[in-house]
Amino acid sequence: MTPYTNTTLTVSHSLTYENEPISDSYFEHKYEWIGGRLCEEDENGPYPLPYDSNEIDRLDLQHYIIRYALNGYFTAPVNFEKVKRVCDVGCGSGIWMMEMSAIYPNTRFYGCDVRSAFPESTCPENCEFSICNILKGLIYPSGYFDYVYQRTLLGSIPEKEWKPLISELVRCTAINGLVELTELAFWLNNAGPHYKIIQEKVYKALEIRGINSRVLNRLPEFLKQAGLVNIGLKIRKIPCGKWGGQIGEYMRDFVMQAMNFYKIFCARQDVITDTDVDEWDYDTEILMKEFEEYKTFATVVSIVGRKPEPLGITIVEDTRMFKRIVKELNSLEYNV
Ligand SMILES: C[S@@+](CC[C@H](N)C(=O)[O-])C[C@H]1O[C@@H](n2cnc3c(N)ncnc32)[C@H](O)[C@@H]1O
């Protein structure tokens, strides 16, 4: 642990801090102030990002950026006339559900997250939030949802956990129901050299936690392996910087807010030292200029699949049984 991360303030003495903790239930967990942000005391806890009102603001800003980029709330071809139950996995502040539940009052929305950043007492009647560590399985029955939605969990899920998690999403989806993963790609495109230096450090810190954000490219394959069909993809670019107008400025602010926290995160994972922290501050100034110079942009990706009717026969593709059957077929040919 670097000396930088030792400049902490314990939560119980910090209630008047201008960046407030987000709910009373934070008392159930152990948190500490690091560099002005409220972080989980256990640096190996399930989620490395802060748990304070600034983080909620950042997630809400992300929501509006993605909604704008996708020109709507979701990508899957969902027919809300028929949809009874929707799940938002890793729902964060609950903003997606809160807005969706007002638009579709006849559908019930279920959100789950490892933290209670969502509204606990005042939420619409057709919304239900629960605490759940999704790496230990979802708390819902099999086939319960017509539509399972999961957004921006790339920075949270260790690489080896993606396949079991997707199996869980599929388990909870009804036959002919839809699963959607919407992700903001971690890397920025057309990035300048200073951004790339910082990005490499962030990747390194994430890798220490087993997180590989490049797994995004494999998510369509994972959905297919989990038995989904009609896999579809939608990719949208989001400008980052003034050069892209108002949305570009929002995206730039969102990235800069993330940078502020990733500095602390990298220090906690011992990827950077005290000296690096100062340089990092310097780099962020240059970053803003680079975004304009290189016309940097971000990418939002939605991947959708449908859970098919069971065929009533064993699916043998890619299994040992498949190989045995192929072998058997081959031997039949020889016998002809
Ligand atoms: C980047 S935020 C996205 C929130 C929300 N999906 C959105 O798009 O606004 C990631 C969320 O995943 C949650 N999360 C991370 N690891 C989790 C886990 N193991 N189980 C449940 N939720 C988790 C975090 O608490 C956080 O709210």
- Give pairs for 34-38: CB < 8 Å, separation 24+: 34/5, 34/7, 34/8, 34/264, 34/268, 35/4, 35/5, 35/7, 35/263, 35/264, 35/267, 37/260, 37/261, 37/264, 38/11, 38/14
Determine the Cα–Cα distance for residues 301 and 152; give it in Å rounded to an integer.
10
Does residue 310 register a pLDDT over 90?
no
For residue 182 and ligand 1, the question of a CB distance below 6 A is answered with no
Q: Of 30-44, 167-181, 315-329, which one has max mean pLDDT?
A: 167-181
At residue 14, the pLDDT reads: 30
Determine the Cα–Cα distance for residues 49 and 157; give it in Å rounded to an integer.
12
Q: Which of 111, 131, 303, 134 is nearest to 226 (CA)?
A: 303
For residue 257 and ligand 1, the question of a CB distance below 6 A is answered with no
At residue 96, the pLDDT reads: 97
The amino acid occupying position 160 is: K
For residue 114 and ligand 1, the question of a CB distance below 6 A is answered with yes
pLDDT tens-digit readout, 48-101: 677 777 888 889 999 999 999 999 999 999 999 999 999 999 999 999 999 999
Mean per-residue pLDDT, 102-112:
96
pLDDT tens-digit readout, 197-244: 888 888 998 998 899 988 998 999 999 999 999 999 999 999 999 999
For residue 190 and ligand 1, the question of a CB distance below 6 A is answered with no
* pLDDT category of residue 46 using cuts at 50, 70 and 90: low
For the CA of 93, the closest atom of ligand 1 is: 9
Centroid of ligand 1 to alpha carbon of 112 (angstroms): 9
Determine the Cα–Cα distance for residues 336 and 326; give it in Å rounded to an integer.
16
For residues 277 and 263, the answer to whether their CB atoms sit within 8 Å is yes
For residues 31 and 23, the answer to whether their CB atoms sit within 8 Å is no
Q: Whose CA is nearest to atom 20 of ligand 1?
A: 133
Centroid of ligand 1 to alpha carbon of 157 (angstroms): 9
Determine the Cα–Cα distance for residues 146 and 173; give it in Å rounded to an integer.
6
- Please tell me the class of the 49-306 domain: alpha beta
Centroid of ligand 1 to alpha carbon of 286 (angstroms): 30
Query: What does DSSP assign to residue 241?
Result: S
304: three-class secondary structure by DSSP? strand
For residues 316 and 328, the answer to whether their CB atoms sit within 8 Å is no
Arithmetic mean of pLDDT over the chain: 83
- Give pairs for 270-275: CB < 8 Å, separation 24+: 270/1, 270/2, 271/201, 271/204, 271/205, 271/208, 272/2, 272/201, 273/2, 273/4, 274/2, 274/3, 274/4
For residue 213 and ligand 1, the question of a CB distance below 6 A is answered with no
Determine the Cα–Cα distance for residues 79 and 83; give it in Å rounded to an integer.
6
Q: Of 112-121, 251-260, 266-275, which one has max mean pLDDT?
A: 251-260
Per DSSP, which regions of the chain are E strands?
A: 8-10, 31-34, 37-40, 85-89, 108-113, 127-131, 145-151, 173-184, 229-239, 297-306
Mutate to test the pocket of ligand 1, among 42, 47, 49, 97 (most ligand atoms within 8 A of CB): 47
Determine the Cα–Cα distance for residues 292 and 57; give it in Å rounded to an integer.
24
Q: Whose CA is nearest to atom 17 of ligand 1?
A: 114
- Domain extent listing, the chain: 49-306
65: three-class secondary structure by DSSP? helix
Could you tell me the pTM of the whole model? 0.84
Centroid of ligand 1 to alpha carbon of 289 (angstroms): 31
How far is CA 202 from each of CA 150, 186, 260, 288, 311, rounded to the nearest angstrom? Answer: 23, 10, 12, 18, 44
Centroid of ligand 1 to alpha carbon of 256 (angstroms): 20
pLDDT over 90, % of the chain: 54
Q: Whose CA is nearest to atom 10 of ligand 1?
A: 153
